[in-house]
Structure 1
Amino acid sequence: MKKLTAILFLGLFFSSCQNLQKREISEEELLQQELKKINWTQVDEFPSVATCDSIKDSATRKQCFFDFLTVTIQQKLDLDTLSILYPQIDTIQVKVTVYPDSRLEFEPQFPSDSLAYDKIKIDSILHSRLTDFPKINPALKRGIPVKTQFVLPVILNVE
């Protein structure tokens, strides 16, 4: 009886060890599973500036950043003759890129019916005026700085 019990116990032991080995997941499989869980189209934290960093609510901090950026761009463009040269344009769409190293890039977005000369001229004015920005902290994804892009409507004729 003891032999039968011992054989039965050993048989169960070896079969359970085989089941455990089958359940082990390779590092590559685990990595692929984790990568599938990540939403690559959203960031964990949006870019920010020092004046907005103390805000705890992420939606409010995001709005603070966008408001700060819009007002700063408007102030820098108010110093120029953009509204005098192009009185028909009251709002311009500006694509903003924030790089992981905190660099900023601005690119005006134009309707398809805009003249090429106007596009070049406005682009030139934007690049000359939109310099010396305060430090922007890049967006974070899982604690790592990442590149983000968004389009801001900037009102030119603020009166």
Structure 2
Amino acid sequence: MKQYYLFLVFLLFNSCQYFDKQIPSEKELLQKELKSINWKEVDEYPSVVDCEKIDNKAQRQQCFFEVLTQLIQEKLSVDTLSVLYPELDTIEVKVTIFPNATMQFEPQFPKDSVAYDRIKIDSILKVRLVDFPKVNPAIKRGIPVKTQFILPVILKVE
């Protein structure tokens, strides 16, 4: 029996090492988690009601871009842009979708472009590009986030 107690005490002292493990600090865990997140991609892309029924992530994204491009083209098709700038057939529009589901449109011009009145084109876009259907913002880890992308919009179809 004495040997049994001696053996039990020996196990008790050796087992303490299993309870004395280092626990990572909260900051270390946070830094590890932040490094594991891919900040360049979202979990769910923005979408409109017409694209909600699509399950495939890539197809839903493509549907959203097509619907948005078509809506922008329709709104700009009967506009003074083609009259003011007949040589302008395609314009790149930077679209920003904010977490509160609001959108902002900004024309993108080549760096060396001086042929266009940027202020006039920007004001035309702001007047025309209103009253869009509700857009659900992109989702990252369950939180709505701001997204930006550039859409090429064809102004004239010949």
| TM-score interval for Structure 1 and Structure 2 normalised by the shorter chain | over 0.9
**Match status 1:17 vs 2:16:** no
Q: Matched residues in 2 for 1:6 and 1:85: separation?
A: 93
Matches within 5 A, 1:10-159: 10-18=12-20, 21-22=21-22, 24-115=23-114, 118-159=117-158
Q: CA deviation at 1:111?
A: 1.1
Q: CA deviation at 1:116?
A: 7.3
* Structure 2 counterpart of 1:110, one-letter code: F
- Report SS of the residue matched to 2:91: strand
Deviates more, 1:105-114 or 1:65-74: 105-114
Q: CA deviation at 1:25?
A: 2.3
- Report SS of the residue matched to 1:83: helix
| Structure 1: segments with no counterpart, 5+ residues | none
The CA RMSD measured in Å over matched residues stands at 1.4
Q: CA deviation at 1:3?
A: 4.5
Aligned equivalent of 2:10, options 8, 11, 19: 8
* Residues 11-42 of structure 1, C-alpha deviations (whole Å, 9 max, x = no match): 21222222xx32x2223222221111110110
Matched residues, percent identical? 60
- Give the TM-score normalised by structure 2: 0.92
Q: CA deviation at 1:79?
A: 1.9
Q: Matched residues in 2 for 1:2 and 1:113: separation?
A: 89
Q: Matched residues in 1 for 2:116 and 2:16: separation?
A: 79
| Structure 2: segments with no counterpart, 5+ residues | none
Aligned positions, number: 156
Q: Matched residues in 2 for 1:94 and 1:141: separation?
A: 24
* Structure 1 counterpart of 2:93, one-letter code: V
